Amino acid sequence: MLFYAPAIPSLHERSGLIVKTRNMALFGTIVITVLVISQLIGIWVNNAIPLNTTIELNTLIHFTHIRNYGGVFGLLQGMGWIFGLIGFGLLIAVVAYLWFGKEINRYEYICFGFIVGGGGSNILDRLVYGNVIDFIDIQHIPYWSYIFNTADLMIHVGIWPMLILSFLTSTSTTDPENGSE
């Protein structure tokens, strides 16, 4: 009689799974924290600042409560659902990349946590309100007239360090002698 015994993972494989699980827990913690903070600030803006009005904090920063019914930079007004669907697909793809990827750096889990948390908050805004609550209005910047929110800011907190770190930590796959791989 033959019995099938599943292979017992090696110590190296188990330690890799532990590290992956810890990194995913860190990622999840950042996502939830960013999502909750962004949503709470959006609720505060919605309740404290009447729509289409401005509170001047100083000459540089104003809080101007507007609604974005489109996408990034107000593109495709009235078509926000398209950005919601695309965004949801991208968020799922990031989670799959982080879970199934073989050589993911810890900074990627952290940076993607900010990006997914911010993106998830904007998607949640679209589901709850049918639009995104924007309010951060920076003044006196030439050719800049955009108003954004905390979630957008968190997306940038994730994107820029990831870009910089990925360039600094990337290893060259080309042979410097002849330029081939």
Q: Which residues are catalytic?
A: 134, 152
DSSP 60-92: SEEEEEEEE-SSGGG-STT-HHHHHHHHHHHHH
* Bridge partner residues of 134 (DSSP): 66
From the number of C-beta atoms within 10 Å of its C-beta (0-12, 13-18, 19+), residue 170 rates as exposed
SS3 40: helix
DSSP 152-178: HHHHHHHHHHHHHHHHHHPPP-S-TTT
